[in-house]
Structure 1
Amino acid sequence: MTDPAMKELLERFRGREQVPAVAAALVGADGIVESAVSGVRRRCTADEVTMSDAWHIGSCAKTMTAVLWARLVEHDLARWNMPLAEALGCPRGRVHADWAGQTVDDALRWHAGVRPNLAPSAMRQAWADSRPFEDQRFDIAARVVASPPRRPGRFAYSNLSYMLVAAAVDRLAPMPFETALGAYVLQPLRISSAGFGAPARVLGHRSRIRLGPVRALPGAPVVASHPMSDNPPVMSAAGTVHINIEDWARFVGIFLRDNSTALCSGKPFLQPETVEHLLTPVTARPVSAAMGWMATDKSAAFSYAMQGSNTLWSATAGLDSDRGRGVVVAANDGRSRVLRAMARLALQLLQA
């Protein structure tokens, strides 16, 4: 359902932040989605975005990885608090003893002591590696658990942590993570627009200046066929998903309180206690982390929020204070200021 007032708000956002295009959607517990898009698929062209276009959602896809694990638990293929080494199936004697207390739940909440990312040399190798993703992931996981975890029990945001969860999914599903996400999450929810890697039609735009984590000044588009249009494909569980804005909103709707519209074969897609487990945070100041979400102070307008960027795109998802409504916003511009401004836009949409 296209919302004219939302579209006007997005057009003002575009003008203020100089983004090529932006999309947003609100979803309620009744499953009804209000949405709008504004802008062009490529900067300085007249090729306008449409509601069916897919957007790269970066690390916001981690919520999908967490939901996939929850679905495996409900199908008795996995279990909560499963030891990470057991889930990975790494051979005895090749796992450092200090991993004994770390679980998949810890990994999903970024408390397992997994370092943040692949080393730069490993990233370059991953782009060039043509082996099946599950083989690549197992090798990566085996190298990680051969050394001790880094300060386990403390929050440390990690893409690599979610890659380890994907390696566990590969073994337990048993099918590649990418296939399992479709079979257990996307298809049951009737989400047909999702895929992996940069979307083909709407192009992400790099910033002209990059100093460490800071990305500034509007830059050029990058076509989907370019290797640098996204992170290496093996990082799918950490955030290489693209999806149209309405499908994404419907996915986020499964986290809303009293949502009875997310069904699978006439039954709840996830049991209420499973959703609560996914959203139960581990609090370690200044961060309170749930599975694929950051939990906020109970007095905040957001109860849970997540942001993502592969440096060419920006994405934000949030649930309001009582989990009665959810919001998602995406733009094909990866500048730091755009990501910051998106949080304000998402809040404005929730409060409108």
Structure 2
Amino acid sequence: MMTRRQMQSLMSAFGLMVGTRALAADSPFHGRWTGVLAAGAVRLTLRLEIDAKGATLFSVDQGNARIPASRVAIEDERIKLAFAAIKATFEGVLTDDHHIDGTFTQGAPLPLRFTRGEVAEATPEPVYPPLTRELLNDKRLAAYTPGMAAAWSRGTQTEIFAAGARSSEDEIAVQMEDQWHWGSITKSMTATLCARLVDAAAIKWTTKVGEVLDERGSPVPAAYRDATLLHLLSHRAGLQPNLDGINAVFYSRDPLPDPRAERRKWALAALKQKPVGPVGAQNVYANNGYIIAGAMLEQLSGKSWETLIQTELFTPLGITSAGFGAPGRPGQMDQPLGHAVNGHKRKPMPVGPGLPTDNPVALGPAGRVHMSMADMLLYLRAHRDRPASLLKPESWDALHTPHFGDEYALGWVVRPDGALWHNGSNTMWYGEVLVDAKAGTVAAACANDAAPDTMTAVGSVLMSARAAAGSL
């Protein structure tokens, strides 16, 4: 399964120029090809253009992001392409004049057929068996994942499954009430918090970055001044995805009494980076946008994002297990541990001061929430049922609507069938969630590592959880 970070990196390649090897002028691969990449809950239309100068991949469903090939190799009917900007490859065979059958690899290998022309051949949705604990455990074992959990709900009926161990080096079993790290699934929570404050007239969707984060003698750079809250939450502010690794190491990973100063520092540093494009022009998946949005909320409210999301979202929904960073107490095996990956080996990452078990605290609004499966279902059901006690109807609409012509709403990917989906990972955990308001179902799945095979397993388990909910 392609992770949210991997999938959205297709967007972030806008404007990158890398060299390709020239092709023969009469290559049978010349022309325009279109295919559909089925990555679990997400299906992406990809277009491939090949000529004598090289090859370029376009992600049609993600703003037509342009990804030039960094390497092209053709031998008879075989083609190999590398896309360094997104760390992906494609290897295929020209089976006839109209088809290239092959494998697209970006973390995990996925089958991909390109058809000559503008239209991809229709591919049926995979059929997933309803989730059982045995199925969950089989998927976990096949992926070498230490622990995995999944849950679904339809109406008020819910079911939660857990399998495996909290650590690869311990036999303590994961429990149904254990807490899981949800990574970028936090983004829809931050967007929901923003909607709460819009309803309270504390901020507007049209509030501009420059209006809030200007400092005396140091205004927000002109490239970003007019980016609005809506641009930030839609990944349309023209921001770089993250700070570079050298700068990121200077930010705290241990809990801070008040994270506002570091978050503002990160936000201002992100606003000094070179834009990837004009505001509104391109969907470039950016943690920076959500961090800046969090800093804006903090500036306007005088409260930290952590305090705001607890009081404005978690408490009203009855969520009691939510916290920030990796779950668990130092020196104890009271919660699952995240794991680093080395082939089939999984190394547990203990929690505690000075240990790199999560992203810096400043990234909170973009991806640091943990909570139990039961509480995740509470959160997902709120987006399914859209209670007026939490948000006005127009605010629910704003959260669930793509505002710039692609499939990304505010912290959610809107599938062709109308269901809401997102995934998240801090490289030591991986999770996916889905809200299908039409069917009245929600589903979630998570694992305590983020290996490519684990991502595939979690995506499959999520769809089986959806199938179980739909079979009632």
* Residues 1:109 and 2:234 are matched in the alignment: yes
Q: 1:274 aligned to 2:395?
A: yes
SS at match of 2:356: helix
User: 2:346 is paired with a residue of what secondary structure?
Assistant: strand
Kindly state the Cα deviation for residue 127 of structure 1 after the two structures are TM-superposed: 3.0
Identical-residue share of aligned pairs (%): 29
- Please, which of 201, 207, 213 is the counterpart of residue 341 of structure 2? 207
Q: Where in structure 1 are there 5+ consecutive unaligned residues?
A: 209-215
Write the letter of the residue equivalent to 1:222. Answer: M
Structure-to-structure mapping, 1:113-262, within 5 angstroms: 113-127=238-252, 132-146=258-272, 149-151=275-277, 152-153=279-280, 154-200=282-328, 201-208=335-342, 216-225=343-352, 227-256=355-384, 259=385, 262=387
- Return the offset for 1:8: 2.3
Q: Is 1:327 matched up with 2:443?
A: yes
1:118 is displaced (CA, Å) by 1.5
Question: 1:131 and 1:141, CA in 2 relative to 1: closer, same or farther beyond 3 A?
Answer: farther
From 414, 436, 441, give the equivalent of 1:295.
Answer: 414
Contact 1:107–1:161 (CA under 8 A) maintained in structure 2: yes
AA aligned to 1:295 is V
Structure with more of its chain in helix, by fraction: 1
The 1:250–1:121 alpha-carbon spacing in structure 2 relative to 1, beyond 3 Å, is same
Task: Report the more deviating stretch, 184-193 or 91-100.
Answer: 91-100
Matched with 1:211 is: none
CA distance in 1, matches of 2:369, 2:317: 16
The structure with the larger Rg is 2
What does the per-residue CA deviation read over 1:285-321, in whole Å, with 9 as the maximum and x for residues that have no partner?
xx521111112223xxx62211111111010011237
CA contact 1:95–1:147 (8 Å) conserved in 2: no
CA-based RMSD of the aligned residues comes to 2.2
Alignment check: 8 A CA contact 1:202 1:332 kept: yes
3-state SS of 1:22 partner = strand
Instruction: Describe the shift of the 1:98–1:283 C-alpha distance in structure 2 as closer, same or farther (beyond 3 A).
Output: closer
Question: How many matched pairs?
Answer: 329
Q: Is the 8 A contact 2:240 2:273 kept in 1?
A: no
Match of 2:142 in 1: 16
Amino acid of the structure 2 residue aligned with 1:176: S
Give the drift of 1:39: 1.3
Matched, 1:336 2:452: yes
**C-alpha distance 236-344 of structure 1, shift in aligned 2 (>3 A):** same
Which position in structure 1 is the counterpart of 2:421?
305
Deviation at residue 146 of structure 1 after TM alignment: 4.3
Higher percent of residues as strand: 2
- 1:56 equivalent to 2:184? Answer no
Could you say what secondary structure the match of 1:329 adopts? strand
Q: Secondary structure at the match of 1:126?
A: coil
In structure 2, the CA distance between the partners of 1:84 and 1:27, relative to structure 1 (3 Å rule), is farther
What do residues 241-268 of structure 1 show as CA deviations (whole Å, max 9, x unaligned)? 1100110111011111xx26x5xxxx62
| SS of aligned partner of 2:303 | coil
Q: Shift of the alpha carbon at 1:36?
A: 1.4
In the superposition, the TM-score normalised over structure 2's length comes to: 0.66
1:31–1:321 CA distance, 2 compared to 1 (3 A) = closer
Superposed CA offset, 1:75-126 (max 9, x none): 1111122112223354465222232431011110111111111111221101
In the alignment, the residues of structure 2 paired with residue 203 and residue 305 of structure 1 have an alpha-carbon distance, to the nearest angstrom, of 25
Segments of structure 2 that go 5 or more residues without pairing to the other structure are 1-129, 329-334
Cα distance, 1:5–1:124 mapped onto 2, change above 3 Å: closer
Q: TM-score scaled by structure 1?
A: 0.87
Question: 1:82-93 counterparts in 2 under 5 A?
Answer: 82-91=207-216
Whichever residue aligns with residue 204 of structure 1, its letter is G
- Change beyond 3 A, Cα 1:92–1:112: farther
The residue type paired with residue 345 of structure 2 is P
Work out which structure has the larger RCO, using CA pairs closer than 8 Å and 6 or more positions apart in sequence: 1
Preserved CA contact (<8 Å) 1:230 1:310: yes
In structure 1, give the amino acid aligned to 2:412.
W
CA contact (8 A) 1:255 1:323 kept: no
